[in-house]
Each structure stands twice: as structure tokens, then as C-alpha cells.
Amino acid sequence: FQTMYRRGYMPVTQFQGDQFLAERLATQISGPWLVAHIQKFAPADFEYGIMPIPKPDDYQGAVYTYGDPKNISIFNTTKHPRAAWQFAKWLISRHADQRLLEICDQIPMRKNLLSDSSFIAYFKAKPQMKMFALQAPFTRGVDGVADLKEIFNIISQEYEASVIYGRRPPEEAIERAAKRVKVIREWNR
């Protein structure tokens, strides 16, 4: 990433408007929701591709990414526990996931999306979404940690200092972030 910022392939600041669609940016890190946005707002001759998150050439193993999964809760005070249970079961069904894809272009947290007969037609019609389906098994949510906002802020600051502005080597940024997070965690025990 450091090289990508240094060479100007990725923006250092936020721009007004969609700079990717304006063809002022070569790359943009985003999620499956961007595909519908591009299809709606891009010029007719706009060409783009989707690729996995960059990783070191010598890295072996799965590449994990962040997802924003939602939880389903049924409160014990509900007046309709059976109906709530039926709805919860439907909400995680293949049919509901198929509708989620068709209506929202959101990738369900489900294994084997590309080989499951419920989803084959969708991915045949929208091949640009396949990369996101391949990543789905390696997508993780964020644990409920009280200090998470502060921890993410620290990670963002050290990432920017190292990768975007080149003020410190990545190893030093990681070490600094770890020390700062440790202070936050110990302070808030």
C-alpha cells in the first residue's frame, strides 16, 4: 500500500464527488455495494475490474477482510415468539439470501456461494460480483469491544503515518499501535 500511495495510485485526501468514476483515481478499495453505484452513475464506456485486496507476493494463506454482519435477536418479552422464530429462520434461508443478492447486491455470509444452485444464476448474470463471493468465507465481523472506536482510531493514525505519509516504517507503526492499544486496554479495565 505504501508504494501505491507514493506513486499516486491511491488518494491521500478525500475529494468531492466520485473521483473513481471521474477517472482521476486508478483504484478504489470498497465493497460489493460499489458495483451497483458504478453501473448507475458511470459513463456508458466506463471500464473497470474487481480484484482482491493486495497482499505481499510471498504471503501464503487466506486473506481475511472486514464485514459488517448483523445479529438476529428474539427478545423473551415478545408477544409472538413463534412468528419471530419463523422470521429469523427465514432471514438466514437460502431464499432470503438470494433476495438479498438480487435486491441489494449484498453478499450473504454463506460458504460455497458460487457452487450453490440457489445463487448460480445471480453470479452468471453479474460476474463482477464473483470476487466478493470468493472472499465471503474469509470475512469477519468485529467483536463487541468497549474500546474498539479508540483502537480503530489508533490503527488508522499509525496506518496513515506509515503507509500514506511515509513518516515511519510499517514495523514501527505496528509496534507503536500495539503499545498504544495496550495502554487503552489497561486504562479501561
Give residue limits of the domains in the chain: 31-141, 148-187
CA distance linking residue 142 with residue 158, whole number of Å = 19
| pLDDT at residue 2, as a whole number | 78
Residue 60 has pLDDT above 90, yes or no: yes
Residue 100 has pLDDT above 70, yes or no: yes
Q: Where are the beta strands (DSSP E) in the chain?
A: 65-66, 139-140
- For residues 37-56, give the mean pLDDT: 91
**100 within 8 A of 108, measured Cβ to Cβ:** yes
* φ, ψ dihedrals at 92, nearest 5°: -105, 15
Helices (H) and strands (E) in the chain, counts: 8, 2
- For residues 175-180, give the mean pLDDT: 97
What the block records as the C-alpha cell of 114 is: 458460487
**55 within 8 A of 38, measured Cβ to Cβ:** no
Tens-place pLDDT, residues 115-153: 999 999 999 999 999 999 999 898 888 777 788 889 999
**51 within 8 A of 30, measured Cβ to Cβ:** no
Q: Which range, 17-31, 139-153, 155-169, has the best average confidence (pLDDT)?
A: 155-169
Residue 102 has pLDDT above 70, yes or no: yes
Give the single-character DSSP code of 26: S
Q: Any idea which of 4-13, 39-48, 99-108, 171-180 has the lowest mean pLDDT?
A: 4-13
What the block records as the C-alpha cell of 18 is: 466520485
CA distance linking residue 46 with residue 23, whole number of Å = 9
CA distance linking residue 38 with residue 67, whole number of Å = 21
Give Cα separations from 125 to 119, 120, 143, 158 (angstroms): 10, 9, 35, 41
Answer with the residue of higher pLDDT: 163 or 15.
163
Cβ count near 97 (within 10 Å): 21
Residue 17 has pLDDT above 90, yes or no: no
Angle 26-27-30 from CA coordinates, rounded to 5°: 150
pLDDT class of 14 with cuts at 50, 70, 90: low
In the block, cell 488518494 appears at 11
